[in-house]
Amino acid sequence: MSSLRDVAERAQVAVSTVSAALNGTRPVAAATKRRIEQAAAELGYRPNLLARGLQSKRTRILALLFPAPRSGFGLTEMQFATGAAEAARELGYHLLLSPEHADPIEELRHLTGLGLVDGVLLMEVRLDDERTDFLTRAGVAFSMIGRTRDPGPIDYADIDFAATARDAVAHVAGLGHRKLAFFNHSTDAYAAQYGPAIRAGEEFARAAGAAGIGYVDDFRPGSAEEGGRAFEALMAAHPDVTALAVMDDHAAVGVLAAVAARGWRVPEDLTLMLVLSSSRVAEMFHPRLTTLEPPSAELGRLGARMLIDRLEGGPPGEGGPQGEGGPPEGGPPEGGPQRRLVPCRLVIGDSSAPPRPYHGGLDPEQGEPPYGRGSPNDLQNGSA
Amino acid sequence: MSSLRDVAERAQVAVSTVSAALNGTRPVAAATKRRIEQAAAELGYRPNLLARGLQSKRTRILALLFPAPRSGFGLTEMQFATGAAEAARELGYHLLLSPEHADPIEELRHLTGLGLVDGVLLMEVRLDDERTDFLTRAGVAFSMIGRTRDPGPIDYADIDFAATARDAVAHVAGLGHRKLAFFNHSTDAYAAQYGPAIRAGEEFARAAGAAGIGYVDDFRPGSAEEGGRAFEALMAAHPDVTALAVMDDHAAVGVLAAVAARGWRVPEDLTLMLVLSSSRVAEMFHPRLTTLEPPSAELGRLGARMLIDRLEGGPPGEGGPQGEGGPPEGGPPEGGPQRRLVPCRLVIGDSSAPPRPYHGGLDPEQGEPPYGRGSPNDLQNGSA
DNA sequence: CTGTTAGCGCGTTCAC
DNA sequence: GTGAACGCGCTAACAG
């Protein structure tokens, strides 16, 4: 690879002049500049990022901390990565994919100590996330995809759960449903700290309340089997529920099976929708399920962009508070943290329809329930 | 961040001694070494990767070229990335996620010119892939996940399609099926050059022939609708087919619907299996589909490992043949390219069963076909 | 406007 | 065994 010096020799100037000409660091005579640019082009010169980074203390490399794929891991997580990588590239940065495993903190200490990355992008952020403490303490720039319970001054991009829940409720209410059930993720060790599960649960309840429709969220099936059982239990306890929103893909499989088992059909007897599942997943179902598709790639892009903004905005203090332990005082540079909330996209499938007219004492074995009267008129799409 | 010099001062030695002690480059007195190590630990010293890279010409950073998510993109591709990243980490390397977009070659030229990466990992390799030419010509070390038509001296890790097809055929033949159909990916611009589609197609035909069972592969549905139509066409032309292997997830959805539409059931009336789909996807179906799950993470790991092996093996000639155009003469360092083929894992779901005893003139509307006689005896698992 | 010099943090010659 | 000096490729300070 040709270096700056090669270009300098070829253009008959000093190295520093080449550097200046190429970076616009200081004025260079037009003629000289032209010669330099031509020489650089002829040699196919590319600045060496390492040398530049060593000097400038800025590598233009970001690290995305990538958790070990747990169950329920899918397209969404991948799209964080691709979105972030693309945004980074567009802004002249690179994205390092750093797998997390046993000890995230040790991992982080190692990674940030290498001087290789300018900032870190966190995903799968838990409500209480030790990684954020470490990073702020270490004075490392970072942003989050998702957010902790109290993000404080940290930049983040997350799903707008309130808007998402409103859209979902508006959708089913617009179809005429009067009572909605919500199956959240299973309450295992992880989900207990998993932001989306918590926030979606809260916001669905709130949205249903605001819309004045009935609401049930007593079930948390984490598998197909549990999904089926939960649906049966739901019908037993709340036979007037006609619409169901499900967080867990596999649970939805069980629901569909249970619906079929009692001779019912979707959407005639039940409006079923996925929450936070990509439309690619929703299409795997039969019928194609309505879903609230998370804006994963967009969140990845935003996360990267926010981080870069911060990096460019003001070089973070060298080192930052080490072990002092005090919470960072005085807001972040240039007017407060960036907080971006983006709603899911409602993708209407073939599993949404008006509720059947009557349900009360109908014998399930009677088979074919009557078709709804109203034609499935234009479906409302909330705050898109 | 503390540097080598800080450690040197603290340990009362020269920088070069510290370097030597930490890297084992040359003998250092035990006592001195101990002092140095302690000083380093106390300061939390981490070698600066950029400085080291600048000096040693080796960054220990690999780039994974990540194609723009096309349709049909999923878990598999993500697992290449996570697998590669993990393997890299274990071996002391880092993985850069480099999104590809319009002009892959220009992208590559840029990336490799920066001096940031030691080698490149290619995925989604096409039968004729211009990227390989560029890389060999540019003298950049690389390996492939997947492979070109003629890989030549290039290291690669790919699916063992022959073994995979044998396993699939053995599975259905073991159940008693006598005629198998295979639905390949749709023949669009991409798939036409898409290795897995081609190779799977070839090997299934070969395996069926070797096993002496009937075989049909005239259909290439790329969507649910096409899948349904293809299934109907298949049944019309080959009513004696009792087992079906499908490459495209969405097509399988259509098949399932078509099966249900004619009052048939899986697996009683049709054994259905997915080919090259993760079990997570197979579980989304009802019934849970049997699948040949691609060893994606493993391929990612292997790809990274091979690349690193090559990097460590022998430092590639500086620059390599530039524009000379001649094919590289004399095999690669240390005995031939590495070629790793790993078979898919057969994950048996609820869609596999013996064929129904008779099929010929049976009226589909007759409903419930008789159950197969033989119990689904132990399923064969070919060359696992 | 341009050239010279210094130094980023490290590994690697060399003398000692 | 150890230390001092040089250079990787680049940017930044100063001189001219």
Question: Among residues B319, B310, B300, which one has the least CA distance to residue B64?
Answer: B300
- Please tell me the predicted confidence (pLDDT) of residue A60: 97
Q: Give the Å distances, CA to CA, from A129 to A148, A190, A292, B373.
A: 7, 12, 26, 57
- Please tell me the predicted confidence (pLDDT) of residue A365: 42
CA–CA gap between residue B178 and residue B201 (Å, rounded): 19
Contact B286, B265 (CB under 8 A): no
- Please tell me the predicted confidence (pLDDT) of residue B331: 37
Question: Among residues B78, B77, B165, B146, which one has the least CA distance to residue B346?
Answer: B165
Chain B within 8 Å of A263 (Cβ-Cβ)? Answer: no
- Please tell me the predicted confidence (pLDDT) of residue B101: 87
Q: Return the amino acid letter for A66.
A: F
Task: Determine phi and psi for A21, rounding to 5 degrees.
Answer: -60, -45
Which residue lies nearest D9, CA-to-C1' measured? A51
Nearest beta carbon to residue B114 from set A49, A98, A224? A49
CA–CA gap between residue B106 and residue B85 (Å, rounded): 24
Contact A152, A331 (CB under 8 A): no
Spell out where A71-149 has E strands: 94-99, 119-122, 141-145
Average pLDDT over residues B63-76: 84
Q: Which of residues 364-383 of A touch B (CB under 8 A)?
A: none
Concatenate the DSSP letters of all residues of A159-212 into one string: E-HHHHHHHHHHHHHHHT--EEEEE-----TTGGGBHHHHHHHHHHHHHHHHHT
**A227: exposed, middle or buried (Cβ count in 10 Å: 0-12, 13-18, 19+):** buried
| DSSP reduced 3-state for B65 | strand
Say whether pLDDT at A167 is over 90.
yes
Q: Return the amino acid letter for B222.
A: G
CA–CA gap between residue A324 and residue A321 (Å, rounded): 6
Residue B215, beta-bridge partner list: B180
Contact A209, A215 (CB under 8 A): yes
| Per-residue confidence band for B314, with pLDDT thresholds at 50, 70 and 90 | low
CA–CA gap between residue B209 and residue B218 (Å, rounded): 16
Which nucleotides of strand D come closer than 7 angstroms to any CB of the protein? 1-5, 7-13
- Please tell me the predicted confidence (pLDDT) of residue B361: 46
CA–CA gap between residue A329 and residue B110 (Å, rounded): 42
Q: For strands B119-122 and B141-145, give the pairing.
A: parallel
- Please tell me the predicted confidence (pLDDT) of residue A319: 37
Q: What angle do CA A13, A15, A19 make, to 5 degrees?
A: 110
Interface test with B, best of A7, A42, A54 (most B CBs within 10 A): A54
Q: What angle do CA A127, A294, A353 make, to 5 degrees?
A: 120
Average pLDDT over residues A330-344: 77
CB spacing of A250 vs B283 below 8 angstroms: yes
- Please tell me the predicted confidence (pLDDT) of residue A359: 47
Dihedral angle of Cα B37, B43, B47, B50, to the nearest 10 degrees: -170
What's the mean per-residue pLDDT of chain B? Answer: 88
What percentage of chain A reaches a pLDDT higher than 70? Answer: 86
CB spacing of B97 vs A86 below 8 angstroms: no
Residues A287-300: tens digit of each pLDDT = 999 999 999 999 99
Half-sphere exposure of A59 (CA within 13 A, CB side): 25
Chain B residue at shortest CA distance from A77:
B78
Q: What angle do CA A26, A30, A32 make, to 5 degrees?
A: 85
Chain A within 8 Å of B48 (Cβ-Cβ)? Answer: yes
Average pLDDT over residues A65-84: 87
Record the pTM. 0.88
Tokens of B73: 């993109």
Chain B within 8 Å of A96 (Cβ-Cβ)? Answer: yes
Chain A, chain B: beta-carbon pairs less than 8 Å apart: 141
Residues A347-379: tens digit of each pLDDT = 999 999 999 875 444 444 444 443 333 334 333
CB spacing of B50 vs A69 below 8 angstroms: no
* More confident: A280 or A357: A280
